[in-house]
């Protein structure tokens, strides 16, 4: 997506073109010093705990969505459908090619 140009007024009062970055590119100039202030896990154990919590949240969201789509299924059947969906996603994900894969 090319960046859009807009008109702005400079200090001399004349219009000058100004480059407007797309939203995804506006924060690319952050440095490592800027990122040090962000909260990360304090230890490897804390990082593992956070990863497990995120995985559990994702699994519960998958089950909730499937429960809404298939209200007549038993919990065991829901788990089976969820595992099939995850396996289907894995097979699709493995087919994707990114620039870094080349």
Q: Where is 18: in which H helix or E strand?
A: strand 15-20
DSSP state at residue 26: T
Q: Enter the pTM of the model.
A: 0.51
Q: pLDDT tens for residues 51-102?
A: 999 999 999 999 999 999 999 999 999 999 999 998 988 888 888 877 665 5
Give 1's Cβ-side CA count (13 Å radius).
7
Tokens at residue 31, please?
Answer: 């440095």
Domain for residue 10, yes or no? no
What is the number of domains present in the chain?
A: 1
Tokens at residue 35, please?
Answer: 């990122």
Domain for residue 9, yes or no? no
Q: pLDDT tens for residues 8-62?
A: 444 555 555 666 766 666 666 666 666 666 677 878 898 899 999 999 999 999 9
Helices (H) and strands (E) in the chain, counts: 3, 2
Residue-number span of the structural domain to which 59 is assigned: 46-96
Please choose, from the candidates 39, 1, 48, the residue with its C-alpha nearest in 3D space to the C-alpha of residue 20: 1
- 35 near 43, Cβ under 8 Å? no
């Amino acid at each position: 997506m090319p960046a859009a140009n807009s008109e702005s007024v400079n200090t001399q009062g004349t219009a000058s073109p100004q480059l407007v970055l797309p939203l995804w590119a506006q924060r690319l100039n952050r440095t490592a010093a800027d990122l040090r202030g962000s909260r990360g896990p304090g230890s490897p154990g804390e990082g593992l705990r956070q990863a497990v919590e995120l995985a559990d949240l994702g699994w519960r969201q998958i089950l909730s969505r499937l429960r809404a789509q298939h209200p007549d299924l038993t919990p065991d059947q829901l788990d089976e459908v969820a595992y099939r969906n995850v396996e289907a996603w894995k097979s699709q994900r493995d087919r994707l090619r990114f620039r870094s894969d080349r």
